[in-house]
Amino acid sequence: MTTTAFTARRELARRSGNGVEVALYWSKTANRVTVEVFDARFGEGWEIEVDGRNALDAYNHPYVYAAA
């Protein structure tokens, strides 16, 4: 079995509230940091790649980063 960037990523943080889940991931093999958001109220989700220097801010304020 081979390891892909998706399976090799590590969850760094997760939170949820009011039907919205936010997760912060880091992939060593791909050298990327992503924030995933899923809104169960609308059944919609998205993922954004962020600079590692902004990872915590993007995790705390994902809608600001999605608009950029």
pTM of the model: 0.84
**Hey, what are 41's tokens?**
């109220």
Q: Measure CA of the first residue to CA of the last residue in the chain; give whole Å.
A: 37
Tell me how crowded residue 21 is: count the other CB atoms within 10 A of its CB.
14
| pLDDT for res 26 | 97
- Does residue 2 surpass a pLDDT of 60? no
**Hey, what are 40's tokens?**
């169960």
- Does residue 7 surpass a pLDDT of 90? no
Is residue 42 within 8 Å of residue 18, measured between CB atoms? no
Distance CA 12, CA 60 (A): 13
DSSP letter, residue 4:
P
